Structure 1
Amino acid sequence: MNVRLPILASALLAASLCVPARAQVDQDAPAPPATDNDPAGAELEPAAPGRVASIVLANDRQAPADYVRDILVLLNLGEGQFARPLMDELAGLQLTDEQRAGLVARVGTAKIHKLARSPELGPEAREFVVACVTAAGAASTSPEKLAAVIEQLGSNDAATRRAGLVGLRAAGEQGVVAALGALAASDDATRQNRLREALVRMTPLANPIVAAALDAPSDDTRRQAAWALGQMDDRPSLPRLAAIAGGPDYDQPLGKAARWSLEKLAGADFSPAAAAPLLEAAIDQSTGGVPARRADNQDAIAVWGWDAEANAPAKTLLPRELAGQVRTARLTSDLWRLNQGDAASNARALAYRLQAEWLQSDGGRVTLPGPAVDDADATTLIAALDLALSEGLTGAAILASDAMGERRDPAVLMSVYAQPTPLAAALTADHPAVRFAALRAVMAINPSSPFPGSSRVAAALMYFASSDGESAAVIAMPKTVDAATFSGRLAGAGIQGLATNVGAQVVCQAVDHPDIEFVVLDMGILRPVLRETLFRVRRQTSTAMLPVVLLAADGQLDHAKQVAREHDRVLTFPRPHSSEDTVSIAAAARAAAPRGMPSADERAEQAAVAAGWIEDLLSEGPSFYNLRGRSDELLAAVNRSSDIASTLPSLALVGTPDSQRTLANLASQDVLPIATRDAAAAAFDKSVQQHGLLLTSQEIVDQYDRYNASEQSDAQTQRVLGAVLDTIESLRDDPVQQGS
């Protein structure tokens, strides 16, 4: 009886038998004779497909899998050039995502990937494979698919559970999250155990995700996580397991599970007395920069926490240093549990918990262990803020300041030794977000008497009020024309460049300019030289956190990199020769900014809020901030601000000759919107009524000249200039009220 083999099997059999024979025949055949036109021999015609390849090409292809089958046969035959038309046909089928996912499921991921790795198939093959794999990934992680996989994993049938494990592996990270969420939602011990066993088989991918369940609200979930981490040999979880085993749950099922895993990981019996030293050592490693988990290619680490609302793990992707701070938060909280009543442990745990909350604020409502800020007394809150400032915990400093502002307790500003308290010290912190949070807290507390550091309030108000809501950078290069060229190129990216050729001017231009986002220093800058200029930038509060770009001439890049290693957030680039290069440098500098730096829109909002605070202090006090004594700074803030209208009430309240002159000038500027000019005229009238007319005689004459020159102007301009003159006339004849 003749047995007809499937086309694919017969093709492979023929390939193994026929191809070597054909090669031998080709080898024995005589070479074609040379021609007169081509002494070296006739030009070779394109090779024809071999016998087996011809059979494959003649196949009837009905489904996408048929195309993949024949393409792979041709590739295996070494005749991939004949597979290109088939690949083009397959790519042109316009498959749906469902069909692409089904194709991957039918032929397998490895075979699909082989298409992308075969250069004979052209770039269309890579695009096709990417689309198929993407569709397959989406299908494997759809809610319906994940629900089916979870149901399989909890089945009583071993074969069904194995099929579920295959689906879980295909779903990857999302599958682990779904399985762990299902475990947390279940109250069936058998189902929990089966889901745990499936998660254990997903090591090492599942390890950090399962470790997050140690902070789940359910003891059953935490117990299953403790068992699993021991089965997974997850050594980074060892100190946290020790905190559980050495704490109040020592004799409970949770503590027993943690103790079993500890003894498996350590290979020795566990003593509760070892928990605290183990945690201290882990904290030292974490704060010292030793990562517990491996970073990706971008030096980022996936930090997993427990979302209490979703009752499932949640992920935040953080740089290595910040990921270490979240781990430290968990370790210090575990140590706080063991050392209840210890003030230092309490403050440290609170500071790091606040920092972790800030870092993971976009990862859902992540449950964090440790003391809550609402339960902390004033002493603990002050100590936590002090620690946050000293260790650079930006988020903790912001949240601690906010908590103090909400409580409105003036005691947090008072010091026995006449030294600024941490909240007052935060007014001059390096990070602008911390400074603004401290200022917001002081304004909310509204102390009635001076406090150590109260002189810093006015400076902070002027600084934030002076933002124009734009983006700017300082550019320092040896030649002014080069700095100006660089600045001009930045304008294309919406960044105002402040150019200089003197190193000393860098800090001068940036120190009171809240909109500076980065600094560019050429290696050849002088007066002072580069290292001294960079040191000055880092020493000033307002520029200490800014990214710095070092531009190197030919042959100087290695030296620039050496200088960059001496500081944080310093980047090195060759001198750019195009607008594209310059814009790329600016993008890299912005990306290097520390977390939490305010955006241009946020700075504009801060400026408006600060202007409102200034107005309130000028009108209602207290007077010990002496804002009227800083009228020059207020005027500078007005001139720089993009929201002039928000600063006009403050100018009216200052009541100085300069402020009245500025208001009269603003009302007279025809380039401003008429609403702004009307507001300036009204503020001028208010200032004159409260403080008298402080313009000089010449300035009064100038104002009359402006009005007379507006004869041909529009009615609105004449009206606003007339309003200014009406105010002048109302008090001009009063010798008591008139200025000199």
Structure 2
Amino acid sequence: MRSLFTTCWILLAAAGTVAAQAPGEAAAPVDSPAVAAIREANPTTPLELAETAGLMVDLGRVDLAIEYLNKLLSDKPSDDDLVKMQAKLGSGPLIRLQTLPELQPAGTEVAKLVFAAVEKLTRNPAFLQAQVDALASSDDVAVRRASIALRGAGAAAIEPLLLAYAGSDNPATRDAALKIILQLGQDAEAPLWGALDSTDPSIKAAALSALGALRSTRSLDVLVGPAVAADEAPEVRRAASKAVVDIVGEPASTSDVEKFLTKRIERYLAGEPVFAGGPFAELDVWTWSDAAPHLTKKTLSMADASTVWTAHLARDLAAIDPQNPQNARLRMVTALQSVIALDGPNAEIKGTPADAAAQQLGAASVAEALDYALTHPRMTMAAIAACRWLGEQGDLAALAPRNGQPSALAAALSHGAYRVKAAAADAVLALNPTSPYPGSSALIEALLSFAKTSGERIAVIADPDSTRAQELAGRLTELGYTVLTRRGRRELFDAAYSTPDVELIFISDAVDRPGAFEMVQILHHDKRTANTPVGVIPWIEDYSRWQVRLTDDPYALALIRAHDAEGLTGQIQQMYAQQGRLLVDANEREARGDRALDSLAALAAEPKYKFYDLLLYEAEIADLIRDPASMEAAAALLSNLATPVAQSALVETASEVVRPLVERQMCAKAFADAVQRKGLQLTREQILRQYDRYNASEIYDRETQQVLASLLDTMEASAKGVRLDQPGLVQPVMEEVEK
């Protein structure tokens, strides 16, 4: 094939350019000798097809170039063939295919296919290890190719490079590995930070040495601790000390390091950003595991990355003086925060550094940490993790009162943050107490609040100008929200507190008595809306002033009035970004609502849980049956309660002819079960009304009549077969039923 292309180029040079077609002619292109020779060669491999497509472009036959590119795509070449193609052609011809307008979309598809295969290969651990092994070759060309491949892999190459730098017996390999790490520059820093989690002194020392050689001033926070920590291996302390000297020019004393780390941690916990970036900026955070693959990357928000960084510093501070109880507690709290930042609010705590710190200090210290976190908004993720850890331990002592007050875990059941309350409820249900404990009613209140979800995404608007309110409501509706518009204070608060599904609140600065600022404060001091994002929409000339006024509220934001859905979407993303890991979407709320109903039903069914006294909440439980999403579980729960309110709710729901038949049948069955469990609990008036409904049902379908008849059958069976619609018999029978 190579000689064929050489011949084609000779023919092309001799013939000059392809003869131009006369103006106005529409005849099909005629193959030049060069084109004919190439077509006769019948290229088939991916490399041949790609080369041929490029030649056809040069010969003025874009139509044939596209034909060859489409054949390449239809052949579905393997990743190996695509990588060989890139190695042969280089990136230039592929970029040309991607950028020539007349070759689209086939040119772009081919280029993307090749680049994806190359990307996949350069991230393959076996390939990267082979390139590191090639650094020891005596073949300069092989070493150069391996170096190019490793540099091209970027941060993904740090693990094999670091392992070679730390443990290779070949000095040339170690030197080459360090050289490539230094060439990667800032791309190498984050993976090297992650390698400091290693328990292998040689790995940790190698990472410290590399950071020092990079002169990485950003790394100073994580270098100073190991330099003075008494428990660190000598090689780790030496590497860290040298790195500090390389960066700042002089060694650091233990007292200076303690002061430095303490001040840094305090500033970060107070909200000072560790890393620069906007509200949507993200950072790759790497963690090290002793099991391969050692380095794992997670892309986090800047806030979560800062949380992980702060936990690293607190760990280093605690290692300097292991006997310092204050530093040990700080290490545990920040480690708890870090677990949620890394793995999300549903993360298992067992087996993490946070678990190790908690086991070392004990459950009482975790409870104290939870108590502290519940009152400090920046420690909310630590509260979530502490609840989960206490639930994982299975020790009912976590619910024991403290100084006559409910335990921290019981107190968390009433917290304003949805996720804290959810983690606390999960923990208490996992502990499964069967005797009273202080604060037990908060569990029922939490479960009921979860059960009230409708699965909707609700936004509330407060604006006295109805035209502006409707304009904003229309855009929110386009984006999939159910919108509640309100003009005044009381209406706004009623709407905001009405359901756990309120995700966003928008307030115009034109509202009065109280004003917008006071409304924000009231909303964020109420546990039901403490973490709900609120956007204040001022007049444009007041925007800067409102930005300043809302600076100290992490869940409030000044907004410029959006005039299209795209602008509003960007503002909503900013509002959600304020919640970070505390954000709960509609699907999760709906799933938790279902689980909450199941838990309530289980508590109502077992006598051992009677101390929860669900009768106090029967009216709220009865309201749940109105929602089709929760009707089935609510019917089962009301059947277990079997109180007058519960039986009445079941009868009324079963009698609503506008409801689907299956729902009415379900409620009728639940009513029969309730009567069998505790007897008939309805009043004379309710019973007679049910006879009236049945007598008026002749206009309805047969299935509806059967449902209404089944309700009367249940009532009469409980009343010993007496017709309760006969006035002379009703009162004596009811007296007998009551007995």
- 2:735 maps to a residue whose letter is V
State the partner residue of 2:600. 614
Native 8 Å contact 1:306 1:366 kept in 2: no
Structure 1 residues 367-382: aligned runs within 5 Å: 368=353, 371-382=356-367
Residues 238, 581 of structure 1: CA spacing in aligned structure 2 closer, same or farther, 3 A cutoff?
closer
Q: 2:259 aligned to 277, 283, 306, which one?
A: 277
Q: CA deviation at 1:223?
A: 2.1
Structure 1 SS opposite 2:261: helix
Structure 2 SS opposite 1:544: coil
* Counterparts of 1:367 and 1:726, CA distance in 2: 59
Q: 2:397 aligned to 383, 386, 411, which one?
A: 411
Q: CA deviation at 1:111?
A: 8.4
Native 8 Å contact 1:279 1:331 kept in 2: yes
Per-residue CA distance 1:263-302 (angstroms, 9 max, x = gap): 3233224544544333323323432444555548942222
Native 8 Å contact 2:332 2:354 kept in 1: no
Task: Say yes or no: does 1:536 pair with 2:522.
Answer: yes
Q: 1:700 aligned to 670, 683, 687, which one?
A: 687
Structure 1 residues 218-617: aligned runs within 5 Å: 218-249=200-231, 252-293=234-275, 295=277, 298-361=280-343, 368=353, 371-389=356-374, 390-447=376-433, 451-480=437-466, 483=469, 486-487=472-473, 490-551=476-537, 561=547, 565=551, 567-571=553-557, 573-575=559-561, 589-590=575-576, 593-617=579-603
Q: 2:667 aligned to 680, 696, 709, which one?
A: 680
- 2:489 maps to a residue whose letter is G
Structure 2 SS opposite 1:669: coil
Native 8 Å contact 1:545 1:594 kept in 2: no
Residues 83, 290 of structure 1: CA spacing in aligned structure 2 closer, same or farther, 3 A cutoff?
farther
Residues 508, 223 of structure 1: CA spacing in aligned structure 2 closer, same or farther, 3 A cutoff?
same
Residues 587, 673 of structure 1: CA spacing in aligned structure 2 closer, same or farther, 3 A cutoff?
farther
- 2:132 maps to a residue whose letter is I
Native 8 Å contact 1:504 1:528 kept in 2: no
Q: CA deviation at 1:325?
A: 0.9
Native 8 Å contact 2:97 2:108 kept in 1: yes
Larger deviation: 633-642 or 224-233?
633-642
Q: 1:647 aligned to 620, 626, 634, which one?
A: 634
Q: CA deviation at 1:220?
A: 2.1
Specify every segment of 5 or more residues in structure 2 that has no aligned partner in the other structure, as ranges. Answer: 1-5, 11-22, 24-34, 725-731
* Counterparts of 1:172 and 1:665, CA distance in 2: 67
State the partner residue of 1:633. 620
Per-residue CA distance 1:91-139 (angstroms, 9 max, x = gap): 8785778787667656765787689899999999888876665555445
Residues 257, 458 of structure 1: CA spacing in aligned structure 2 closer, same or farther, 3 A cutoff?
same
Native 8 Å contact 1:419 1:452 kept in 2: yes
Residues 693, 151 of structure 1: CA spacing in aligned structure 2 closer, same or farther, 3 A cutoff?
same
Native 8 Å contact 1:177 1:313 kept in 2: yes
Q: TM-score, normalised by structure 2?
A: 0.79
Structure 1 residues 26-41: aligned runs within 5 Å: none
- 1:254 maps to a residue whose letter is V
- 2:383 maps to a residue whose letter is A
Per-residue CA distance 1:51-72 (angstroms, 9 max, x = gap): xxxxxx9x99997679879999
State the partner residue of 1:736. 735
Residues 573, 290 of structure 1: CA spacing in aligned structure 2 closer, same or farther, 3 A cutoff?
closer
Q: CA deviation at 1:212?
A: 1.2
Structure 1 residues 116-127: aligned runs within 5 Å: none
Structure 1 SS opposite 2:196: helix
Structure 1 residues 82-101: aligned runs within 5 Å: none
Larger deviation: 339-348 or 550-559?
550-559
Per-residue CA distance 1:443-483 (angstroms, 9 max, x = gap): 34455665554443332222112122332222333245664
Native 8 Å contact 2:339 2:354 kept in 1: no
Q: CA deviation at 1:685?
A: 3.0
Q: 1:162 aligned to 135, 144, 150, which one?
A: 144
State the partner residue of 2:727. none
Larger deviation: 511-520 or 250-259?
250-259
* Counterparts of 2:332 and 2:496, CA distance in 1: 35
* Counterparts of 1:83 and 1:550, CA distance in 2: 60
- 2:590 maps to a residue whose letter is A
* Counterparts of 2:683 and 2:632, CA distance in 1: 25
Q: CA deviation at 1:206?
A: 0.6
- 1:735 maps to a residue whose letter is M
Higher-helix-fraction structure: 2
Specify every segment of 5 or more residues in structure 1 that has no aligned partner in the other structure, as ranges. Answer: 1-5, 11-44, 46-56, 75-81
Residues 630, 655 of structure 1: CA spacing in aligned structure 2 closer, same or farther, 3 A cutoff?
same
- 1:377 maps to a residue whose letter is G
Q: CA deviation at 1:310?
A: 2.7
* Counterparts of 2:465 and 2:697, CA distance in 1: 45
Larger deviation: 218-227 or 725-734?
725-734
Structure 2 SS opposite 1:303: strand
Residues 395, 544 of structure 1: CA spacing in aligned structure 2 closer, same or farther, 3 A cutoff?
same
- 1:708 maps to a residue whose letter is N
Per-residue CA distance 1:312-342 (angstroms, 9 max, x = gap): 2112222222211101111212222233243
Residues 441, 180 of structure 1: CA spacing in aligned structure 2 closer, same or farther, 3 A cutoff?
same
Computed over aligned residues only, the root mean square deviation of the Cα atoms, in angstroms, reads 4.5
Q: CA deviation at 1:710?
A: 3.1
Per-residue CA distance 1:132-172 (angstroms, 9 max, x = gap): 65555445445564343222234355654333221111122
Residues 485, 154 of structure 1: CA spacing in aligned structure 2 closer, same or farther, 3 A cutoff?
same
State the partner residue of 1:39. none
* Counterparts of 2:233 and 2:734, CA distance in 1: 90
* Counterparts of 1:323 and 1:118, CA distance in 2: 41
- 2:518 maps to a residue whose letter is E
Structure 1 SS opposite 2:584: coil
Native 8 Å contact 1:547 1:570 kept in 2: yes
Native 8 Å contact 1:564 1:571 kept in 2: yes
Q: CA deviation at 1:434?
A: 0.8
Native 8 Å contact 1:181 1:311 kept in 2: no
Structure 2 SS opposite 1:519: strand
Q: CA deviation at 1:228?
A: 1.5
Structure 2 SS opposite 1:168: helix
State the partner residue of 2:181. 199
Structure 1 SS opposite 2:733: coil
Residues 253, 156 of structure 1: CA spacing in aligned structure 2 closer, same or farther, 3 A cutoff?
farther
* Counterparts of 2:352 and 2:450, CA distance in 1: 34
Structure 2 SS opposite 1:360: helix
Number of equivalent positions: 688
Residues 559, 264 of structure 1: CA spacing in aligned structure 2 closer, same or farther, 3 A cutoff?
closer
* Counterparts of 2:409 and 2:557, CA distance in 1: 33
Residues 256, 83 of structure 1: CA spacing in aligned structure 2 closer, same or farther, 3 A cutoff?
farther
State the partner residue of 1:29. none
Native 8 Å contact 1:215 1:367 kept in 2: no
* Counterparts of 2:296 and 2:83, CA distance in 1: 27
Larger deviation: 253-262 or 668-677?
668-677
Structure 2 SS opposite 1:268: coil
* Counterparts of 1:108 and 1:716, CA distance in 2: 75
Q: TM-score, normalised by structure 1?
A: 0.78
Native 8 Å contact 2:624 2:630 kept in 1: no
Native 8 Å contact 1:397 1:434 kept in 2: yes
Residues 512, 381 of structure 1: CA spacing in aligned structure 2 closer, same or farther, 3 A cutoff?
farther
Larger deviation: 308-317 or 233-242?
233-242
- 2:268 maps to a residue whose letter is S
Q: CA deviation at 1:646?
A: 0.8
Q: CA deviation at 1:209?
A: 0.6
Q: CA deviation at 1:564?
A: 5.0
